[in-house]
C-alpha cells in the first residue's frame, strides 16, 4: 500500500470515532437552522486550520447556509469532496452515538455523518500536500434529505477534475471494496388537489372531494410501478394530507410520491398519468425535487484501477438505486464517484449504524482515489 495512504488512513481512523461522536451528538433534521449551525460549528473545529471557510446560500429557502472548506495550493488539479449535514430524524427521536460491539449506533451515523468525518480526514491529509493541487474543497450542504428548490452549486465547480462524494460505502459479495459510479434518477412528485368543502352529513354532494381526487392520483402513479421493467421504475405514493374535520368534505390536499428510474424522462410519463380532474376537484402535478441519473462507469475506470494499485487491492465499480447529490455534480464534473463513506446500515431508522472497523478501510479507499486524482490518473 502507498505510504501516504497508509499513514493518513491510520491518523483518520485514530480520531474518527471521537469526531463522529461529536457530530452525531447534534440533532440536525433537514430544515432546522439551529441544528445545522451547530453542526457547522463542530465541523469548523475539526477542519484543517489552513482551510478557508465560506458559507454559500442553501438551495432550499429557509435553511442554514451551506458550508465550503477550501484549500489552495501550487499544483494544477482541482478536487471536490462532498457531503451533507442534515438527517431525516426529528429532535424527539434523535439518538446520540453509542458503541454496540463493532457498531457505532446513532442518528445520521451512516447517512451521512460518518462520511462527513472521513471527508474531513481526507481534507486534513490533503492540507499536508498542497503543492500537489490547485484547489481541494469540501462542500457540506444542509438540505440533501429534504430539498425544496433546484440544486444550485454544481455550475460553480464545472470543469474541476474530480468529485468524491462520501455517502455510505459497501463491499461486493466477494469482499472487495466498492464505490458508486451509477445511480438511478430520482424525483419527488407533488400532486395538489383543489375541491370544494361541504357538510359531509347534510350536503355531501355539494362538495368536490379533494381526498378522493388524491386517492385516484395515487392509484394512477402506483400503476406505473415497474421495478423489473426496462427503466427499473419505482413509483411509490408516500404521503397524503387532506381534510380538517371528520364531518367536512375535504376542499384541498396534497400527495407526495417517490419516483426512481434509470431514465429521467420516465418521470414526465408518470406525471402525465395524473388526471386533471376527478369528481369536480382539480389536480396539478409538479416536481419539487429532481436528481438526474448518474453513470460515470467509463470515465472512472482508469481512476479505480490506479487507486487499486495504490491500495494493493481492487476498488470495484458498483451501482445504487438511492439518490445522492453526486448525481447533480456528474454533468459538471464527469469524473464523479460516490459511496466513499464507511459501511453500515439502518439509514433513516432508529438503529442506524456505522461499522467501526470500516472507518480505516474506507479512509484508505478515499485517500487512494484522491491520490490518483492528484497524480493525473484520469
Q: Which pLDDT does position 323 carry in this prediction? A: 82
For 340, residues 6+ apart whose C-beta sits below 8 A from its C-beta are: 115, 118, 119, 164, 165, 166, 167, 169, 179, 362, 365, 366, 369
Return the C-alpha torsion angle 368, 14, 342, 149, nearest 10: -90
pLDDT given for residue 148 in this prediction: 86
Residue ranges of the chain with pLDDT lower than 50? none
The CA distances from residue 110 to 22, 41, 102, 115, in Å, are 14, 20, 14, 7
Do residues 335 and 161 lie in contact, with contact meaning Cβ atoms separated by under 8 Å? Answer: yes
Q: How far apart are CA 46 and CA 127, in angstroms?
A: 13
3-state secondary structure (DSSP) of residue 54: strand
Q: Are 340 and 179 in contact (CB under 8 A)?
A: yes
**How much is the pTM?**
0.90
pLDDT at 64: 98
Query: Domains (ranges, CATH) in the chain?
Result: 3-184+293-374 (3.40.630.10), 185-291 (3.30.70.360)
The H or E element that residue 203 is part of is none
Residues 6+ apart with CB under 8 A from 297: 181, 182, 317
Compute the distance between CA of residue 25 and CA of residue 141 in angstroms, rounded to an integer. Answer: 18
User: Is 226:178 a contact under the CB 8 Å cutoff?
Assistant: no
114 in Cβ contact with 342 (< 8 Å): yes
Rounded distance between C-alpha atoms, residue 120 and residue 16, angstroms: 10
> Residue 139: phi, psi to the nearest 5?
-105, 125
Amino acid at each position: 500500500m502507498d505510504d501516504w495512504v497508509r499513514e493518513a488512513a491510520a491518523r483518520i481512523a485514530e480520531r474518527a470515532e471521537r469526531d463522529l461522536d461529536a457530530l452525531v451528538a447534534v440533532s440536525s433534521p433537514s430544515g432546522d437552522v439551529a441544528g445545522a449551525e451547530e453542526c457547522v460549528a463542530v465541523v469548523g473545529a475539526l477542519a484543517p486550520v489552513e482551510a478557508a471557510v465560506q458559507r454559500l446560500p442553501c438551495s432550499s429557502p429557509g435553511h442554514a447556509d451551506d458550508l465550503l472548506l477550501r484549500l489552495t495550493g501550487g499544483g494544477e488539479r482541482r478536487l471536490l469532496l462532498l457531503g451533507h449535514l442534515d438527517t431525516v430524524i426529528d429532535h424527539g427521536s434523535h439518538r446520540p452515538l453509542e458503541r454496540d460491539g463493532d457498531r457505532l449506533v446513532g442518528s445520521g451515523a451512516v447517512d451521512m455523518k460518518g462520511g462527513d468525518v472521513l471527508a474531513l480526514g481526507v481534507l486534513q491529509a490533503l492540507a499536508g500536500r498542497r503543492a500537489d493541487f490547485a484547489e481541494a474543497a469540501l462542500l457540506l450542504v444542509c438540505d440533501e434529505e429534504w430539498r425544496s428548490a433546484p440544486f444550485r452549486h454544481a455550475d460553480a465547480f464545472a470543469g474541476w477534475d474530480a468529485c468524491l462524494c462520501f455517502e455510505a460505502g459497501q463491499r461486493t459479495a466477494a469482499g472487495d471494496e466498492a464505490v458508486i459510479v451509477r445511480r438511478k434518477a430520482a424525483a419527488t412528485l407533488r400532486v395538489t388537489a383543489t375541491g370544494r368543502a361541504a357538510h359531509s352529513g347534510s350536503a355531501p354532494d355539494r362538495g368536490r372531494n379533494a381526498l378522493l381526487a388524491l386517492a385516484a392520483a395515487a392509484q394512477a402513479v402506483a400503476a406505473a410501478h415497474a421495478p423489473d421493467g426496462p427503466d427499473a421504475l419505482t413509483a411509490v405514493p408516500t404521503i397524503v394530507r387532506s381534510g380538517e374535520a371528520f364531518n367536512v368534505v375535504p376542499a384541498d390536499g396534497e400527495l407526495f410520491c417517490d419516483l426512481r428510474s434509470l431514465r429521467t424522462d420516465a418521470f414526465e410519463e408518470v406525471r402525465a398519468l395524473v388526471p386533471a380532474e376527478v369528481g369536480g376537484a382539480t389536480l396539478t402535478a409538479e416536481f419539487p425535487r429532481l436528481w438526474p441519473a448518474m453513470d460515470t462507469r467509463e470515465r472512472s475506470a482508469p481512476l479505480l484501477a490506479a487507486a487499486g494499485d495504490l491500495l494493493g487491492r481492487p476498488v470495484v465499480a458498483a451501482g445504487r438505486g438511492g439518490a445522492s447529490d453526486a448525481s447533480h455534480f456528474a454533468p459538471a464534473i464527469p469524473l464523479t464517484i460516490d459511496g466513499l463513506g464507511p459501511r453500515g446500515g439502518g439509514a433513516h431508522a432508529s438503529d442506524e449504524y456505522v461499522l467501526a472497523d470500516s472507518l480505516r478501510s474506507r479512509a484508505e479507499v478515499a485517500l487512494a482515489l484522491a491520490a490518483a486524482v492528484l497524480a493525473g490518473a484520469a
